[in-house]
A and B are shown apart, each in its own frame.
Chain A
Amino acid sequence: MAFATVLEAPPRRRPVVRRRNGYLPPPPPPTGGGDGPERDPEPRRPFLDNARLATLFLIGGEIMFFGGLVVAFFVLRIAAPVWPPPDQPRLPVGVTGVNTLVLLSSSVLMIGAVRALARKQPGEVVRRLAWAGALGLVFLAVQGYEWARLVGFGLTVSSGAYGATFYTLIGVHGVHVLGALVWLAVVLMHAALGRYADGPTAGLRACAIYWHFIVALWPILYVAVYLL
């Protein structure tokens, strides 16, 4: 048995150099490789830090949550004989379209903040994060104003499937924007205190991923609820 082991040289691990997570992995051990039990196993190098990985899975769950709502919306919509119902007010397509651009530009600023983080410009990071958050607030404020106007025109949650779906979908997205804004505020505070200058930056990057998700969700809802 032992003799056979000596004859069969253990398969050699190819020295693959891959950029993972922004740093280069250490070179393969000099003693050669193989997966055999002879060698001490290397410590694992995760391909993505915990915070970002968890955020990606959180987004997976959120997609299923919004998926349930959007599918339910389409079921009611297709079943309705006329959509929107003739006696109900129309949704403000134009203002909300501009508002969509506001939200999308906050995502651009968030990309800028992460780039500034990579270039190590802490002042720029704080400024861009603050602007992204401010645009998110503007989006929410305009949405709230439009809601108030629609309620004034007589579209309420209890006015049939049209009002119910509109307020539920848009409201649930609004609550998510609010939650993401709270997270963004915490990250902004950390950035202003200089936590990301020399420490791990995963918190900011995870928040950025979630912000992009919340922003990317909006055009889908806009097209489904307002335009179609």
Chain B
Amino acid sequence: MKQNPKRRAGHTGHHELGFVRTYIFSQDHKMIARQFLFMGLFMMIIGGLLALIVRWQLAWPETAVPGLGGILKETNGILEPSTYNMAFTMHATIMIFFVVMPILAGCFGNFCIPLMLGARDMAFPFLNMLSFWTTFTAGLIMLSGFFVPGGHAAAGWTSYAPLSAVPEYTGVNWGQNLWCISLFVMGVGSMMGSINYITTVINMRAPGMKLFRMPLVVWSLFITAILLLLALPVLTSGVAMLLFDRTLGTSWFKPSGGGEPLLWQHLFWYFGHPEVYILILPAMGIASEILPVFCRKPIFGYHAMAFSMIAIAFLSWVVYGHHMFVSGMNPALGMSFMVTTMIIAVPSAIKTFNWLGTLWGGRITFKVPMLNALAFVSMFVIGGLSGIFMASTPVDIYIQDTYFIVAHIHYVVFGGSIFGAFAAIYYWFPKLFGRMTNPFLGHLHFWPTFLFFNLTFFPMHIIGVGGQMRRIYNPMQYEFLQHQQHWNVFITYSALLLGLSQIPFVINFFWSLFAGQKAPMNPWNATTLEWSAPSPPHLNWGARIPTVYRGPYEYSSPESQEDFLPQWQQPSVAAPAERRRH
């Protein structure tokens, strides 16, 4: 990129923004992306510790949890049933709404969309800043719930009414109210963010960046933004009704006043099913982005990848009933939800086979981002296959609300989204912070995480089919579960080791942030536009926005001197690269 010195001098005004405008109330999409990343990683620590507390209780019921003696003074660190309910409720809520969504949609949405499309910033930078601070406020409200009398929300992350609608049922008063307020505020924040993403993708692309030249991660974030925009308002309306029920005395979900408890489940899952695709689609895009780079091959079936994501997004609206097979539903309706759910396997399989087709015959280098992306693909296959079990009503009636479901969701959300997030963090770290991560620490993080992830969550399938219900306080209370208690102990040991395996990541992250090797402009020899900007980018490019000449995955092209053709490289007249495609 040639940079016009005069134009750059004109932009130096931006350097003179004070500390607050640069680092706190920043309107720069890259700074907002970093803020989302730090917020998500911080919340991940809290959510992870809550998970370990839950695991301790399940393995060694009603023994003192180490380290909790100072907090739970009355019980000397032993979890009471109400505290246990609070722990698993907040683990799920924090992980879904304040870890995966801020990291994948918030951080990488903000970072990748403008940089990969060749835009200087989002369409509405101020709205973008507002979106982060709204989400941040929602996070603070959510955390403040731990400190109110009565404890935090304890009705499960799904907060089924009427358990959640009447304070006396769980004994939680302000905790559940703050849960509702926090999700309401987060809904507003993510609405601002998603409108911004959609407008940016439609209107702000660089010259030559056609829709079907967009990198697949941008496609996935675009579709995610549409799902966010249309799904979250339904939850927002639901939590508003729930909050009114709890505080103003309305009776939307309370049968005593003519309300309908099942209505909450419909509203919640009408949002909830698109939500799981909000969590997984960006990770799918990230894997589609990283696999071609590290096997030096174009993605297999670019159009099929984009269209299958659109198909998944569309289908996600017509399958939500599969969460409610045992809630009381007309069998004909259950049957149609079963069929639509099974149809989702088709676009998902298209994506999986395309990832395999990309790997086939490639020159694979097992760098840390690639390992995490491969873990995403393989774990997503396991999570997807166990999903088919649940999709069929006869099986689901048996495994509903057992640890089989817990295993499934963790294979999809941890094995899928979190490995995708790790892959993205390792892959874009050079561009996010201008420094390379340490590959040794990266391997030291990846291999134990991958191993202990499987040792933690795979046995959950077994105890789930063995009949262990989710959300039970003490499995030893049930005679038919006592013979498999050794599995619970094994899972807890694995979970503790899984937690310890994250320490190399934390060390790597902060060490590389300050002392990592300086990153070159294009460390992975990738073709997409963000690698044409300096690391870390300031105003994204110099005087001229790059022009896009070709699709995003031109690796091992015979037309190039090296083995890749960047999107921004002007083709020679004799090389009709565009015709050869498709």
Contacts and interface: CB of A to CB of B under 8 A. Distances in A.
A61 B249 CA distance: 27
B482 interface: no
B389 interface: no
Interface stretch (B61-69, B80-88, B259-267, B454-462): B259-267
Contacts of A163: 250
A161 B249 CA distance: 10
B248 interface: yes
B195 A41 contact: no
Contact of A72 (B208, B237, B258): B237
Nearest to B550: A37
B195 A61 contact: yes
B277 to A, nearest CB: 16
B571 A38 contact: yes
Contacts of A172: 240
Interface in A154-178: 157-158, 160-165, 167-168, 172
B249 A158 contact: yes
A2 interface: yes
Interface stretch (B129-137, B171-179, B491-499, B572-580): B572-580
A68 B267 contact: yes
B361 interface: no
Given A53-B202, A54-B199, A72-B241, A36 B578 contact: yes
Contacts of A161: 251-252, 257-259
Interface string A46-74: 10111001100110111011111100100
A53 B547 contact: no
Nearest to B547: A41
B207 A42 contact: yes
A89 B541 CA distance: 65
Given A50-B203, A57-B198, A75 B574 contact: no
B196 A54 contact: yes
A121 B233 CA distance: 39
Contact of B259 (A42, A66, A157, A164): A164
A58 B228 CA distance: 12
A31 interface: no
Contacts of A68: 233-234, 236-238, 267, 270
Contact of A61 (B205, B233, B238): B233
Interface in A12-54: 35-38, 40-44, 46, 48-50, 53-54
B202 A37 contact: no
A67 B270 CA distance: 11
B575 A64 contact: no
Secondary structure at the A interface, as helix, strand, loop or mixed, is helix
Interface residues of A, number: 45
A88 to B, nearest CB: 11
A37 to B, nearest CB: 4
B211 to A, nearest CB: 11
A79 B254 CA distance: 13
Contacts of B241: 69, 72, 168
Contacts of A157: 244, 248-250
Nearest to A171: B244
Given A61-B195, A61-B230, A53 B251 contact: no
B231 interface: yes
A36 B250 CA distance: 63
B184 to A, nearest CB: 11
Nearest to B197: A57
Nearest to B202: A53
A120 B142 CA distance: 50
A80 interface: yes
Contact of B233 (A37, A40, A41, A65): A65
A12 to B, nearest CB: 15
Contact of A158 (B203, B232, B248, B570): B248
Given A5-B576, A46-B202, A68-B233, A75 B260 contact: yes
B450 interface: no
B331 to A, nearest CB: 20
A62 to B, nearest CB: 7
A11 B41 CA distance: 51
A175 B124 CA distance: 24
Nearest to A50: B123
Contact of A5 (B237, B252, B574): B574
Contact of A164 (B194, B234, B236, B251): B251
Given A41-B547, A54-B196, A158-B249, A61 B575 contact: no
A228 interface: no
A227 interface: no
A157 to B, nearest CB: 5
B575 A158 contact: no
B505 interface: no
Contacts of A50: 123-124, 199, 203-204
Contact of A37 (B198, B231, B232, B576): B576
Contacts of A80: 258
Contacts of A38: 571, 573, 576
A160 B195 contact: no
A44 B213 CA distance: 14
B234 A67 contact: yes
Contacts of A164: 244-245, 250-252, 257, 259
Contacts of B547: 40-41
A68 B204 CA distance: 32
B549 interface: yes
Nearest to A164: B250
Given A38-B573, A68-B237, A60 B244 contact: no
Most buried by A among B195, B241, B258, B575: B258
Given A60-B229, A158-B248, A164-B244, A41 B258 contact: no
Given A37-B576, A161-B258, 19 more contacts: A36-B576, A36-B579, A37-B549, A41-B547, A43-B207, A44-B205, A49-B203, A53-B199, A57-B229, A60-B230, A62-B233, A65-B233, A68-B238, A72-B241, A75-B263, A157-B248, A158-B250, A161-B252, A168-B250
12 contacts: A2-B574, A5-B574, A53-B199, A54-B124, A57-B194, A72-B241, A76-B260, A76-B263, A158-B248, A158-B249, A160-B251, A161-B258
List 10 A-B pairs, minimum CB-CB distance, nearest first: A41-B208, A164-B250, A158-B249, A161-B258, A68-B237, A65-B233, A37-B571, A64-B233, A46-B203, A68-B234
